Amino acid sequence: MTPSTAPESAPESAPEPEPEVQPSPYVARLPIGVRLPTPEMAYWEIFPIEGDLQVKLLEPPVLPEPARNGDPGGDECWTCGDPDKDVIWRDEHWQVRQYVKPTGLPAVVTLFPNAHHDLEDLPDDLAAEFGLMIRRVARAVQSLDGIARVHVNRWGDGSAHLHVWFLPRPLGMRQMRGACLAIWDDLLPPMPADEWLDNLRRIATALAADGGTAFEPSAPPPAEPDAASG
Ligand SMILES: [Zn+2]
């Protein structure tokens, strides 16, 4: 038997202490609080920023990590809680959503399963469809004018509901090739809203040609009033 160290008089309602989560050996040997030297990538031809840069100080780990949106113990899932928001195409198992407003690339869209799953708990039947859906959405985005290639990204640190990003690289813009395309999407001037909406319609229509239903994309919210111009 393991002897208990808890006082027998402790009230039953006393909260259980959070179990302490120790950093992994990997994290424990990271140079926390140290500023690492500027990496070689800062001088890559495809790196979008130049000038004097410095790497941020390496911050201590946060353990246990906070729940993501849609995780047990986290806030209600954004995707399940607003099932039609920004959906431009849907079928029985999958949906494609637009971003809320234009960004720098011609049209960035996101693929979600309709049901609340992350990649690791995606049932076998949906996982088998997932590859076909990635190809299908990539082809739909590639069908826009002047697209060299469509890059596919799955991150997932913000929401527990699986979502995959599709980023089209404009044909000829070789400076934007590779992983920095996601940064260029934020740096480039936003697409004109009417062209962006037309691109989203074309993606939804291309998807619906093979099944499912296309929906009219949502216009961006009105721009914030410019205080300087009154
Ligand atoms: Zn969800």
Q: To the nearest whole percent, how much of the chain has pLDDT over 90?
A: 84
What is the domain count for the chain? 1
Q: Is residue 143 part of a domain?
A: yes
pLDDT single digits (tens) 111-120: 999 999 999 9
Q: Is residue 33 part of a domain?
A: no
- Cα of 156 from ligand 1 centre, angstroms: 12
Backbone angles phi and psi of 25, in degrees to 5: -55, -35
Q: Is residue 93 part of a domain?
A: yes
* Residue 91 binned pLDDT confidence (cut-offs 50, 70, 90): very high
Q: To the nearest whole percent, how much of the chain has pLDDT over 70?
A: 89
What's residue 10's pLDDT? Answer: 46
- Cα of 133 from ligand 1 centre, angstroms: 18
CB atoms within 10 A of CB 200: 28
Q: Which two tokens stand for residue 115?
A: 């049901």
Backbone angles phi and psi of 112, in degrees to 5: -130, 145
- Cα of 48 from ligand 1 centre, angstroms: 34
Q: Rounded distance, CA 54 to CA 36, Å?
A: 8
126: containing domain? 81-214
What pTM, to 2 d.p., does this model score?
0.88
Residues that place a CB less than 5 A from ion ligand 1: 70, 77, 79-80, 116, 161
Strands 87-90 and 147-154 turn out to be unpaired
Q: Which two tokens stand for residue 201?
A: 């319609």
- Cα of 8 from ligand 1 centre, angstroms: 43
CATH number of the domain at 139, please: 3.30.428.10
Q: Is residue 181 part of a domain?
A: yes
Whether the CB-CB separation of 187 and 175 falls below 8 Å is answered with no
* Residue 20 binned pLDDT confidence (cut-offs 50, 70, 90): confident
- Cα of 125 from ligand 1 centre, angstroms: 18
Q: Is residue 150 part of a domain?
A: yes
Q: Is residue 91 part of a domain?
A: yes
- Cα of 86 from ligand 1 centre, angstroms: 15
pLDDT single digits (tens) 117-147: 999 999 999 999 999 999 999 999 999 999 9
Q: Is residue 147 part of a domain?
A: yes
- Cα of 183 from ligand 1 centre, angstroms: 26
Q: Is residue 228 part of a domain?
A: no
- Cα of 19 from ligand 1 centre, angstroms: 27
- Cα of 83 from ligand 1 centre, angstroms: 9
Residue-wise burial string across 27-45, b where 16 or more C-beta atoms lie within 10 A, e elsewhere: eeeeeeeeeeeeeeeeeee
